[in-house]
Chain A
Amino acid sequence: MKIVIEALIVLLILTNLKLIASSRLSACIRVVAVQGVLLGLMPLIAGQEALTLRIAALSGLTMLLKGVVFPWLLLKTLRSANVRREIEPFVGYAASLMIGAGLLFLAIWMSRQLPMPFAVTSPLIMPLAFFTMMIGLFAVISRRKAITQVLGYLVMENGIYAFGLVFAQHEPLLVELGILLDAFMAVFVMGITIFHINREFDHIDADRLSALKG
């Protein structure tokens, strides 16, 4: 069991690194899709309790939304915006990877500062959640294209959600569904906004949205 969980965690960490190392936007979206599916598997494997209908439903829905629906929405947006690559991000790809490795250490350090009050399946899950979150934030601030920022937001949400799935399993189903619904709406609204940005400006570079200041 331990090896399965560890493999899952390693794969999730690798998807994060892959996200900040690839310039092709469609590849980034696929990476996030894979991450969503892996995340959906997480409660099935790492849960401390027996498999209940609730966990199964949650995991299935997570995989469906994060693995299929979001990527599909974003790919659709990408096609309408007609951009393929992230050109000249604020932080280069090699440097991003280095920063990613640094963030990993930071995530582990942070999770050491907050010891869990109860026993957990694997001590790596919390660093993973922090790391995923930080990678998401990093993608939001270091990339130009609006769509990469949405991806960053999604990844950040994934990290937080991973934390919730594993540690806060007592959250009522209603809340979990609400969170998923909100994430869905957020991606939907952001997608529409990107569509409008593309139509108005002929580009989706968020850093060039700079008319408002002061």
Chain B
Amino acid sequence: MTDLSVLLGPISALVLAPLIPGIINRTKAVVAGRTGQSLLQLYADLLRLFRKGAVYSRTTSWVFKAGPVAGLSCMAVSLAMLPLGGVPGAMAFTGDLIVMVYLMGLSRFFTAAAAMDTGSAFEGMGASREVQFSVLAEPALLVGLAAVALAAGPAGLFDAGPVVNGFRSLSEIYHQLTLSVWANDGAILLLAAAALFIVALTENCRIPVDDPNTHLELTMIHEVMVLDHSGPDFGMILYAAALKLWFFLALLSGLLIPVRSENLWINGISTIIGIFFLAVGVGLVESVMARLRLLRIPQLLAGALSLSALALVLVLWG
């Protein structure tokens, strides 16, 4: 299985990820009847930021500087494990799913720590919210993926690593998500996909959880945490955010598009096309929905958690 195609996932992510926010913004613009910014806007922003110098407040310490670096590296490592539909991740191993989720947690920890390091009340507030929501989002993600894993069928059809007590790599799970799984357990996969979609919106601070365009500190979650970063640091944060969005959309797209042919390139390309369609979908959701009140967000996440719990229950006893 050592095929060049395993590099397709990480490379396409690193190259194409900044395109996704562009697609979302363009969709929103088209729905609103505007022309909108260029599809490549984020590339230009990143280029600009990386050429700048950074300004650091005297009250901050190394934690503040570590935040963006840790965030980006965590994302890069998780991308190496991420399967692109039927294409296995570059370094898939048994149980990588859990490592990925906790790498996200690590990056969240550093971002929140960096935000609190500034000593600003607003940034602390953002950090608190981010952490609070992830408490609910993380189990929803894990339970949903567990349901998908069980629905995909028994282990052992694909040798990406040694099988330990039924644990598998995410790549193997995704490899087994063929059309026949959909025909049998479509309801379960749909429920899990719905839960994952909500988690994706939450983790990436999209409407209805957070509004990436707002600049009211009182209502923002993610944006408020990174107010003090500038130059290359901010560039890294933006790039990591784009990668994260790519990560979740790739998870969803791999789940929703059951193309599992012999040719891995076809699998990979179809998944990437799926990602673009999902990006359009996110743009449509943002166009038709308003941001939820902050108090209602835990309810939305609890809903996501119950959806994935329901999927798990169905697959365990259905």
Contacts and interface: CB of A to CB of B under 8 A. Distances in A.
The reply to whether chain A is a binding partner of chain B is: yes
Interface of A: 3, 6-7, 10, 13-14, 17, 21, 93-95, 97-98, 100-101, 104-105, 108, 122-124, 127
A10 B191 contact: yes
B209 to A, nearest CB: 14
Interface stretch (B117-125, B222-230, B300-308): B300-308
A6 B315 CA distance: 11
Contact of B298 (A3, A14, A94, A123): A94
Interface of B: 136, 183-184, 186-187, 191, 296, 298-299, 301-303, 305-306, 309-310, 313-314, 317-318
12 contacts: A3-B183, A6-B314, A10-B310, A10-B314, A93-B296, A97-B303, A98-B302, A98-B305, A104-B310, A104-B313, A108-B313, A122-B318
Given A3-B187, A7-B187, A21-B299, A100 B317 contact: no
Nearest to B186: A3
Contacts of A95: 302
Contacts of B298: 94
Given A3-B186, A123-B318, A97 B302 contact: yes
B186 A127 contact: no
Contacts of B318: 6, 122-124
Contact of B310 (A3, A13, A123): A13
A100 B306 CA distance: 8
Given A10-B310, A104-B310, A104-B313, A97 B305 contact: yes
Contacts of A3: 183-184, 186-187
Query: Interface residues of B: mostly helix, strand, loop or mixed?
Result: helix
A162 to B, nearest CB: 17
Contacts of B296: 93
B306 A93 contact: no
Contacts of A93: 296, 299, 302
A186 to B, nearest CB: 29
A42 to B, nearest CB: 16
Contacts of A127: 313, 317
A27 B187 CA distance: 24
A3 B306 CA distance: 21
A101 B187 contact: no
A6 B186 CA distance: 10
A124 B299 contact: no
Contact of B299 (A13, A97, A123): A97
Task: Give me the 5 closest cross-chain CB pairs, A-B, nearest first.
Answer: A97-B302, A94-B302, A94-B298, A101-B309, A101-B306
B314 A124 contact: yes
B299 A10 contact: no
A88 to B, nearest CB: 12
A105 B313 contact: yes
Contacts of A104: 306, 309-310, 313
A95 B302 CA distance: 8
A139 to B, nearest CB: 15
Contacts of B310: 10, 13-14, 17, 101, 104
